[in-house]
Chain A
Amino acid sequence: GAVVSQHPSRVICKSGTSVKIECRSLDFQATTMFWYRQFPKQSLMLMATSNEGSKATYEQGVEKDKFLINHASLTLSTLTVTSAHPEDSSFYICSARGDMFQATSGNTIYFGEGSWLTVV
């Protein structure tokens, strides 16, 4: 299947600072990318959907000013957690979808490895 990579895989930051997580599609052009967060022993919760070159669409209850999403190219999306607090500590996962005519990915959604964020 297609490859999606996230960086960093683990990050620790101080409360009040901002942290950026990158999501890259390595072998296909990602028309759309999705960001999720997951707390221990819980399922994935969709945070937002982003399309290349346009503003992200946030799910209800997700603060768009706190979780800044940029999808500036067809292979890169970033999630910035601003003014992080300990309650933002979580596993953040991105996923990406190509368009249905791409041989590598079709319109199947592929996930990155996830990024663990710990705010101290």
Chain B
Amino acid sequence: DAKTTQPPSMDCAEGRAANLPCNHSTISGNEYVYWYRQIHSQGPQYIIHGLKNNETNEMASLIITEDRKSSTLILPHATLRDTAVYYCIVRSPIYNQGGKLIFGQGTELSVKP
């Protein structure tokens, strides 16, 4: 499985954009980038995923570099409830072991008033 590298922690002011980086330099052409977050003592929550193009949904935006070796998750207006551990995961195709998700250490985002 391709591995990802994320900063262990980040702070963000409430109301500002939170930009969470992720390096995945060994990603293969058919592997997707997925983002999940985990609020303390809960199961991970799906945020967004992408292959090549930038993606946006109601929660966040995902910016993937042209060479696909890194990506950035953007929370446009962070709130205190966005405080969580954010995981960037490179996911194998479904035909490869069911497309399982292997979690790294993630980034602990603290949104401060």
A112 smallest CB distance to B (angstroms):
5
Interface residues on B, range: 20 to 34
Provide the residues of chain B in CB contact with A6, threshold 8 Å.
Answer: 43
Residues B101 and A109 in contact, CB atoms below 8 Å apart: yes
The answer to whether the Cβ of A108 comes within 8 Å of any Cβ in the partner chain is yes
Which chain B residue lies CB-closest to A45?
A: B103
Residue interface mask A97-120, B partner, CB < 8 A = 1: 100100000011111111010000
A-B pair number, CB within 8 angstroms: 57
Given contact pairs A49-B97, A57-B97, A107-B94, A113 touches B43 in the complex (Cβ within 8 A): yes
Specify the main secondary structure of chain A where it touches its partner: strand
Residues A46 and B100 in contact, CB atoms below 8 Å apart: yes
Which chain A residue lies CB-closest to B47?
A: A1
Residues A34 and B105 in contact, CB atoms below 8 Å apart: no
CB within 8 Å of B: which A23-78 residues: 32, 34, 36, 43-46, 49, 51, 57
Residues B101 and A43 in contact, CB atoms below 8 Å apart: no
Residue interface mask B33-56, A partner, CB < 8 A = 1: 000101001111110010000000
Beyond A108-B46, A108-B49, list 17 extra A-B contacts (CB 8 Å).
A1-B46, A6-B43, A32-B98, A32-B99, A34-B100, A43-B87, A43-B103, A46-B100, A49-B100, A109-B46, A109-B99, A111-B36, A111-B43, A111-B46, A113-B43, A114-B42, A114-B43
Residues of chain B having any CB pair with chain A under 8 Å: 36, 38, 41-46, 49, 87, 94, 97-106
The 10 closest A-B pairs by CB, nearest first: A111-B43, A44-B103, A32-B98, A114-B43, A111-B44, A43-B103, A113-B43, A93-B43, A112-B43, A49-B98
